[in-house]
Amino acid sequence: MSGDGDDPIQRCFDASYRRLVGQLYGVCGNLTEAEDVVAEAFARAVSRRRTFERLDQPEAWLRTVAVNVARTRHRRRVLGERLLGRTHPVGEEHAPALSDERMALVQALRELPLAQRETLALHYLADLPVAEVATTLGVPVGTVKARLSRGRAALAAVIERGRLGGLGRNPCMTSRRPRPTPHRCPTTRRSRAAASGAARPARRSRPASRC
């Protein structure tokens, strides 16, 4: 992007780029890919400058384009994995500037189907209302609500699995430790026995029976 401050696309880039990348990171599950799809959205804005400059909500337009690009990439990747018979590894070249909680949420979102992941990411990470999520994804509001409901349940299961997995690696949490048997010194036992014997009164010897 050029450094012209009078350029509306440049102004939108300066104001929205980082926010859009953070939102698309939840959709893509990969920071590098999120940066790529947002950059592609701005590139299409440049190629359609007249249309873009007449938009009332240019950031919403960019977000919709970026989501569509991410969808197309995902479909192509899935098709390639099916044809090649292997899964493309997910990697990060650098860490995003997100809190630990959001990082954990994005990692859990990776385990969900694309439709649920993008819906949850736009609603909870991008803080979009349900109606705007529906507009961005091009689906009815009822579909968004259903995906949110199913996605929340699936996400809770993923997080619970992660917790159980963490506990499973800790042997202290998977099995109960036997209670330690108190060690008793043999001399102590003998001394106790002697003390108890001394405390008891001596038995009287019976006189020998007379025939």
Please spell the DSSP secondary structure of 3-21, one letter per residue.
--TT-HHHHHHHHHHHHHH
For the chain, what are the domain ranges? 1-94, 98-171
Residue 172 pLDDT exceeds 50: no
Look up the CATH number of domain 98-171.
Answer: 1.10.10.10
Of residues 91 and 85, more confidently modeled: 85
Residue 39 pLDDT exceeds 90: yes
Predicted pLDDT of residue 175 = 37
Predicted pLDDT of residue 62 = 96
**Mean pLDDT of all residues in the chain?**
77
The answer to whether 150 and 112 are in contact (CB under 8 A) is no
Of residues 96 and 170, more confidently modeled: 96
Residue 108 pLDDT exceeds 70: yes
Q: Buried (b) or exposed (e) across 58-71, using 16+ Cβ within 10 A?
A: bbebbbbbbbbbbb
Identify the band that residue 104 occupies on the pLDDT scale cut at 50, 70 and 90: confident
The answer to whether 114 and 74 are in contact (CB under 8 A) is yes
Predicted pLDDT of residue 37 = 96
The answer to whether 119 and 148 are in contact (CB under 8 A) is yes
* Residue 52 CA from chain centroid, whole number: 35
Residue 1 pLDDT exceeds 50: yes
